[in-house]
Amino acid sequence: MKQLDIGVAGAGPAGLAAALFLSRAGHRVEILERFETPAPVGSGLLMQPTGLTVLNALGLSDTIHAIGSRIDRLHGADAKSGRTVLDVRYDAAPSGRYGLAVQRAALFNTLHDAAVADGIRIRTGIDLASTGMRGDRAVLKNAEGVVGDYDLVIDASGTRSMLAAKAATAPSIRDLTYGAFWATLDGQGAAYDKSALSQRYDKAKVMIGLLPTGRIRRDEPERVAFFWSLKVADVEAVKAAGLDQWKAIIRSYWADCAPFLDQIEDWDQLTLARYAHRTALPPFSGRLVFIGDSAHSTSPQLGQGANMALLDAAALSHALARCADIPSALAAYARARRNHVRLFQLLSLAFTPFYQSDSTAIAWVRDRLVSTVAKIPPMPGLLASIVAGTLIDPFGPAGLTECTWQEDLSLLSGMA
């Protein structure tokens, strides 16, 4: 396709990755971001073989491996009995895969540094309110009016996108009842599994998690993401009861959390993450295309959101490279991602009540039935593919070839 002027709304993983792919393909790209200083919000992220393959395609594999923390296993136990109810190992599926946990800021810096190095223009402090058309050009507007006009606008502004809310394909957005408190903490002196996402449960009402997330930059200390699941409606009551009571509850479930809790002295150290489900169908409207959470979001139970955002960026760039015009490229992008997105949204929705709900029956099924069935072949391999994001092929339709995992191993922090 001819060189296009492309405006990207949002400097999250989706927007930054799309800008990198498209500017390297020869298009003129600029990113518009609400924050004055682009910065990630939140704590840790688990990069799956899908997202790692996209980063590899962008030439960022060594950077992310040098700061991330290798995760081999997702392990969860009942907090009272200590019985294992979740044990998914990446190596249960062939190919030597693993996950890589990173701090959000580390993923952001990796992509943002690359965008800056590539000379991509990033305009900050622009709170986008809507899109529209001016002749055959797509425009982006803030409250004052038009801030840019383009051949194509990519909406990568996340779950609560203003642009998507006003588009012809306006998706429905459903806030989920449960969210979580997250904090990024120092792991020194604490006892935790450095190669696992570890969780403790009490039925599906309580979920506490520890995820080793590596470092923000090579010379900084390694950190651990701590999270505590709760109903968003209960947040004020939990706060009113006081920090000490909250810590006592967590310690009663999982004593090993004490060194992490000791670092929390103020509620401000905890970020409340709210989860929502949305789907934009189709993920484009005229010259506006949705990628990442603005196209689809779910609860982060399966840890796929950022990975799917990166896959979207690769698939859109691949579609634009091989189609003759914008309408056929956007339709090709939608086709390329449709099955994978639908499957993983469905799986996230299906798995969420097992870990975040008021149902004791669902928790009983998880603890007694699912945990037993999960050990019987071919279930371990199947579960590993679900966690890896590869239950169906996400790579071919996005124009990617999966990483060779043994090569990437040598890049891991501490092994390089």
> Which spans of this chain sit near ligand FAD (rule: CB under 6 A)?
9-15, 32-35, 42, 45-46, 126-128, 156-158, 162, 180, 182, 273, 292-293, 300, 303-307, 309
> Smallest gap, in angstroms, from Cβ of residue 327 to ligand FAD?
23
Of 12 and 397, CB closest to ligand FAD: 12
Query: Which H/E stretch holds residue 16?
Result: helix 13-24
User: 174: Cβ–Cβ under 8 A, 6 or more apart, which residues?
Assistant: 276, 277, 278
Residue 411 C-beta: closest distance to ligand FAD, Å: 20
- In this complex, which beta carbon is closest to ligand FAD, that of residue 46 or of residue 363? 46
Q: Please report, as a single letter, which amino acid is at residue 154.
A: I
SS (H, E, C) 349-399: HHHHHHHCCCCHHHHHHHHHHHHHHCCCCCHHHHHHHHHHCCCCCCCHHHC
Q: Which residues pair with 87 in a beta bridge?
A: 75
Residue 317 beta carbon to ligand FAD: minimum distance, rounded to whole angstroms:
15
Which residue's CB is nearer to ligand FAD, number 187 or number 292? 292
Which one, 84 or 130, has the nearer CB to ligand FAD?
130
**What stretch of H or E contains 278?**
strand 276-279
Q: Encoding tokens for residue 271?
A: 């970020």
- What is the chain's percent helix, strand, coil content, to nearest 5? 40, 25, 35
Torsion sign (Cα): 312, 314, 319, 321:
positive
Measured from the CB atom, the residue of 10 and 187 that comes closer to ligand FAD is 10
What token pair was written down for 264? Answer: 């929390």
Q: Which is nearer to ligand FAD, 127 or 202 (CB)?
A: 127
Nearest to 107 by CA among 46, 194, 183, 27: 46
Judged by CB, which is closer to ligand FAD: 1, or 284? Answer: 284
Cα 224 versus chain centre, distance = 17
φ/ψ (deg, to 5) at 413: -50, 130
If you ran DSSP here, which 8-state letter would residue 369 be given? I
